[in-house]
């Protein structure tokens, strides 16, 4: 499950990486050999990040210090910038930073009180995120689109239900299709004649104006009530990621990782984990495999980063630590993965 972040946002980008493209349509032996030879190195030191942000120091965010932290959310397809969340001195910011850590700028989101992880449009001109406003009842979540050039944003959805108990409507998982449309998952809690109520899940496709183009999936889950029957097709796509070819959605439904096939509206499970503490997924550029990170223990906060083929036949752990921030991002050339560690250094994984 994602963690809510409060924020202010800014933009820009510089720093070019050479492109290396996958031409295979499936995970080949050569790909498996390459992914088995990962090299982990520091890309940006936390001291460098602190100076870019205009502060003296960034405290560690490990288990003994509930202090500053950095989360990486998405990497632009031209390789020039990464959208990240900075959580410093109990204040939260959405920023754009280039992969070498030489330029950082805050995005301005006005009166929003918080946000969920951002996603960059295929063109690199827009950033999509779920923003949070507070009203008299509680927090209300809606999708927002930030224009990177104009530095303005607009609200795409019109949710008015606050995030509390049976009146909750949550929009926390979303992404871009290759043609520039948006897919998002909406979770609604509503009361039924049972103490625990129920949940409905809807997967929607919209254009950039917020106009709904169709509902891809719908399901209802009733809690412990024999008078109601839950629908069998699961549409709870937490931590979803749309494949680069636009045909599949990977998602984490703890303790499983699954694939939703948009041509058939069916789901398959590709991995089962022995824990119930969460995972996120990101695709590699040729849509044949996903990068995932997994929190392995609720208290010790063990953290693993792996690569898995879409059918689950190849699964390789490429990094593990006793504590991790999560949210890996993958370069569009398929050569690099970056993430922030608990010392707030930005780490890079490249493949030998």
36-50, 91-105, 112-126, 323-337: least confidently modelled range = 323-337
* Continuous segment of H or E residues that includes residue 317: strand 315-321
Q: What is the 8-class DSSP label of residue 296?
A: -
The pLDDT assigned to 323 comes to 65
Share of the chain above pLDDT 70, in %: 82
Per-residue pLDDT, averaged over 286-313, amounts to: 77
Q: Cα angle vertex 151, ends 147, 155, to 5°? A: 55
The pLDDT assigned to 296 comes to 67
Residue 327: closest CA among 281, 278, 277: 281
The pLDDT assigned to 7 comes to 41
Residue pLDDT, tens place only, 33-86: 777 788 899 999 999 999 998 888 887 655 445 578 899 999 999 999 999 999
Q: Which pTM does this prediction carry?
A: 0.86
Which of the four pLDDT bands, split at 50, 70 and 90, describes residue 268? confident
Task: Enumerate residues 6+ apart whose C-beta is below 8 A from 187.
Answer: 168, 169, 170, 171, 172, 199, 200, 201, 236
Residue 279: pLDDT above 50?
yes
The pLDDT assigned to 308 comes to 86
Domains of the chain, first to last: 29-351 (2.120.10.30)
The pLDDT assigned to 26 comes to 52
Length of the chain: 352
Phi, psi of 262 (to 5 degrees): -70, -20
């Amino acid at each position: 499950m994602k963690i809510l972040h409060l924020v202010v946002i800014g933009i820009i980008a510089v720093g070019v990486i050479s492109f290396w493209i996958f031409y295979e349509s499936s995970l080949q032996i050569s790909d498996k050999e390459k992914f088995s030879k990962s090299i982990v190195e520091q890309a940006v030191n936390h001291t460098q990040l602190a100076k870019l942000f205009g502060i003296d120091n960034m405290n560690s965010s490990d288990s003994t210090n509930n202090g500053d932290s950095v989360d990486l959310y998405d990497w632009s397809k031209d390789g020039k910038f990464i959208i990240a969340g900075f959580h410093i001195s109990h204040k939260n910011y959405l920023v754009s930073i280039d992969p070498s850590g030489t330029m950082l700028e805050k995005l301005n989101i006005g009166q929003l009180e918080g946000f969920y992880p951002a996603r960059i449009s295929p063109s690199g001109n827009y950033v999509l995120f779920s923003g949070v406003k507070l009203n008299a009842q509680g927090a209300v979540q809606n999708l927002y689109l930030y224009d990177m050039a104009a530095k303005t944003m607009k609200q795409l959805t019109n949710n008015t239900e606050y995030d509390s108990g049976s009146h909750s409507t949550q929009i926390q998982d979303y992404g871009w299709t290759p043609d520039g449309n948006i897919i998002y998952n909406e979770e609604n809690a509503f009361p039924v004649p049972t103490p625990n109520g129920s949940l409905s899940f809807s997967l929607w496709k919209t254009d950039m104006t917020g106009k709904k183009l169709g509902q891809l999936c719908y399901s209802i889950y009733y809690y412990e009530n024999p008078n109601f029957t839950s629908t069998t097709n699961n549409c709870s796509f937490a931590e979803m990621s749309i494949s680069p070819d636009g045909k599949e959605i990977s998602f984490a439904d703890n303790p499983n990782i699954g694939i939703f096939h948009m041509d058939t509206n069916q789901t398959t499970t590709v991995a089962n984990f022995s824990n119930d503490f969460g995972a996120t997924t990101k695709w590699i550029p040729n849509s044949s495999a996903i990068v995932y990170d997994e929190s392995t223990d609720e208290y010790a906060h063990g953290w693993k980063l792996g690569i898995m083929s879409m059918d689950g036949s190849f699964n390789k752990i490429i990094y593990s630590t006793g504590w991790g921030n999560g949210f890996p991002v993958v370069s569009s050339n398929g050569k690099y993965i970056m993430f922030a560690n608990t010392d707030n250094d930005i780490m890079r994984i490249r493949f030998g």
